[in-house]
A and B are shown apart, each in its own frame.
Chain A
């Protein structure tokens, strides 16, 4: 029964050819990021050749202003950016699911308080919150993860709450309540599994957004700090006119990797949404 359910989802997913291609690209990129220490020909933080060299046989993406190999730096940057995106998504999804479950199941004053807080965070131009927080806590990878994690949860919370509210009206939950099942069982064994699909779909878009936000913050110098490379802070140097005009290998590859990652995640998320939708047959 379970087995066939996954097969149906996979069959529906496969109909989106773009998404299948994107999934393949994404898998390759993630593998490259994980295996960076094995693949990278040089150290990402130590000079490996002459400075500001255009791409050549030894350095396929050239070297930066102090002679570090750009290909190695991009591999490690992908690792950092994917990690930040993934963990920030995990934090925001966990917070959102917890608050959404509580809010939807208990209702009443608890629900009002949580949803009020959610509205507050939602109606906030959140880049401002992120900027203020990033300026105040020591900038770095871990604070960026926490900041993005605590800014992106309201969407998940609303989604889960809505789902719980509609599930509460279904017959199988009502019968659980009548049968006197413990609350914990109803919440975690009955309601939670039924909200996994929409949450997963939503999480893919949060993942894509987190990667974009990390890039923007690191680009502004408030995210991941050099010498640790991230896709955003690699682009930081491109603000100077000499890099922008004369050394395109320093910024075009890093920017293209961000676009590729985010586009692929978005396409996969969109296909998942279709595949999970029970209305499609």
Chain B
């Protein structure tokens, strides 16, 4: 088992390096942060000085190498805009993002898992079609449009929920206040998670329901409810575990847009600002972090898979 985990970790290193190389190359391809400096009051000399200070006067591969060496020494660099260390910037924004992503994922799975199982058990009945159609609708609504509709209903018309930020300005912001701010962004992300997964879970459960061993227990005279609860659901855990792992990159992507819309003070917000401002160190910091998160969640999925399915050998 440990050997397996170690092997997976070693395999992840080249993938991680590859991702950062792609990031750096794309980022550098056309837009230099120096272009943002140019203005009537800035002399050629200032630009050159900045270029030297940021190391942008060197070829791209040297720049990348310098960045990599610094990262291996534990230094993610400093923001070009605010001059804050990137690590601090990320540390102060990661909490709200993790909170939002975690709550949305749990909410989404609480919707998707029972709905998918319900749909599979009642296959080809009206209820099944209703659930499947609902899931198509959920995965077809653009997140930002759903966000607009929710803001329109709950903030503008009903005035129940605040539409931006994480705490009410001027207050300490207790848990209830944060929860009120989180309702709408979490619903938007959770609908996306549920919409994409209901059909996946449904077909996974259907596949299991057709297995021979289930036919055997049914033939033995076990009741339908007991068959599903004791034998089918346990085996359906496996695909559900994979679903959780697959969610993370998508969820992170969705969070960038949702945070922007609801001014949620998380990583998505600083990412968008960094992207529009060509703040290289911040962009690279966020990309590195998200790549690590994705690879770690893939690894955890593999391990969980092994825990849930005793037939997997290493």
Residues of chain A in range 109-163 having any CB-CB distance to chain B below 8 Å: 116-117, 119-121, 123-129, 131-133, 135-137
Task: Among B142, B145, B287, B295, point to the contact of A128 (Cβ < 8 A).
Answer: B287
CB atoms of A266 and B26 under 8 A apart: no
CB-based nearest B residue for A22: B136
Distance between Cα atoms of A68 and B79 in the complex (Å): 42
CB atoms of B145 and A258 under 8 A apart: yes
CB atoms of A123 and B31 under 8 A apart: no
Residues of chain A in range 8-44 having any CB-CB distance to chain B below 8 Å: 18
CB-based nearest A residue for B132: A270
B78 to chain A, nearest CB (A): 19
CB-based nearest A residue for B139: A266
CB atoms of B140 and A263 under 8 A apart: yes
Q: Does A91 contact B (CB under 8 A)?
A: no
Contact status of A128 and B144, CB under 8 A, knowing A123-B249, A245-B156: no
Q: Does B46 contact A (CB under 8 A)?
A: no
Within 8 Å CB of B272, what residues of A? 131, 220
Contact status of A136 and B26, CB under 8 A, knowing A117-B18, A262-B140, A267-B136: yes
Distance between Cα atoms of A116 and B16 in the complex (Å): 11
CB atoms of A136 and B30 under 8 A apart: yes
Binds B, one of A51-59, A82-90, A96-104, A208-216: A208-216
Chain A proximity mask over B135-154: 1 for CB below 8 Å, otherwise 0:
01101111111001101100
Distance between Cα atoms of A124 and B252 in the complex (Å): 10
Q: Does A259 contact B (CB under 8 A)?
A: yes
CB-based nearest A residue for B253: A127
Task: Among B31, B144, B275, B294, point to the contact of A124 (Cβ < 8 A).
Answer: B294
CB atoms of A266 and B136 under 8 A apart: yes
Chain A proximity mask over B1-39: 1 for CB below 8 Å, otherwise 0:
000000000000011001100110011011100000000
CB atoms of A259 and B19 under 8 A apart: no
CB atoms of A123 and B298 under 8 A apart: yes
Q: Does B63 contact A (CB under 8 A)?
A: no
CB-based nearest B residue for A123: B294
Q: Does B133 contact A (CB under 8 A)?
A: yes
CB atoms of A124 and B249 under 8 A apart: yes
Contact status of A128 and B271, CB under 8 A, knowing A244-B148, A263-B137, A263-B140: yes
CB atoms of B275 and A135 under 8 A apart: yes
Q: Does A235 contact B (CB under 8 A)?
A: yes
B53 to chain A, nearest CB (A): 22
Binds A, one of B110-118, B233-241, B254-262: B254-262
CB atoms of A251 and B276 under 8 A apart: no
CB-based nearest B residue for A134: B275
Report the interface size for chain A: residues with CB under 8 A from the other chain. Answer: 42
Task: Among B156, B261, B283, B290, point to the contact of A125 (Cβ < 8 A).
Answer: B290
Q: Does A226 contact B (CB under 8 A)?
A: no
CB atoms of B249 and A220 under 8 A apart: no
CB-based nearest B residue for A127: B253
Distance between Cα atoms of A136 and B36 in the complex (Å): 12
Distance between Cα atoms of A158 and B252 in the complex (Å): 23
Distance between Cα atoms of A116 and B19 in the complex (Å): 11
CB atoms of B140 and A244 under 8 A apart: no
Size bracket, chain B contacts: 35 or more
Q: Does B286 contact A (CB under 8 A)?
A: yes
Chain A proximity mask over B264-282: 1 for CB below 8 Å, otherwise 0:
0000000110011010000
Q: Does B291 contact A (CB under 8 A)?
A: yes
Q: Does A238 contact B (CB under 8 A)?
A: yes
Residues of chain B in range 151-169 having any CB-CB distance to chain A below 8 Å: 151-152, 156
A56 to chain B, nearest CB (A): 23
A18 to chain B, nearest CB (A): 7
Q: Does A107 contact B (CB under 8 A)?
A: no
CB atoms of B148 and A235 under 8 A apart: yes
Most buried by B among A125, A126, A263, A270: A125
CB atoms of B148 and A120 under 8 A apart: no
Contact status of A123 and B291, CB under 8 A, knowing A136-B27, A263-B140: yes
Q: Does A219 contact B (CB under 8 A)?
A: yes
CB atoms of B144 and A219 under 8 A apart: yes
CB-based nearest A residue for B133: A18
Q: Does A255 contact B (CB under 8 A)?
A: yes
Distance between Cα atoms of A182 and B13 in the complex (Å): 39
Within 8 Å CB of B29, what residues of A? 136-137
Distance between Cα atoms of A203 and B143 in the complex (Å): 22
Task: Among A120, A132, A259, A270, point to the contact of B145 (Cβ < 8 A).
Answer: A259
CB atoms of A244 and B144 under 8 A apart: no
Distance between Cα atoms of A160 and B248 in the complex (Å): 25
Distance between Cα atoms of A212 and B145 in the complex (Å): 10
Chain B proximity mask over A216-243: 1 for CB below 8 Å, otherwise 0:
1001100000000000100100110100
Q: What are some 25 contacts across the A-B interface (CB < 8 A)?
A: A116-B15, A119-B15, A120-B15, A121-B22, A123-B291, A124-B291, A125-B252, A125-B253, A126-B249, A127-B252, A127-B257, A129-B23, A129-B26, A131-B271, A133-B26, A135-B278, A215-B145, A232-B142, A238-B148, A239-B148, A244-B152, A255-B142, A262-B140, A263-B136, A263-B140
The 8 closest A-B pairs by CB, nearest first: A127-B253, A262-B140, A255-B145, A125-B252, A125-B249, A263-B140, A136-B31, A135-B275
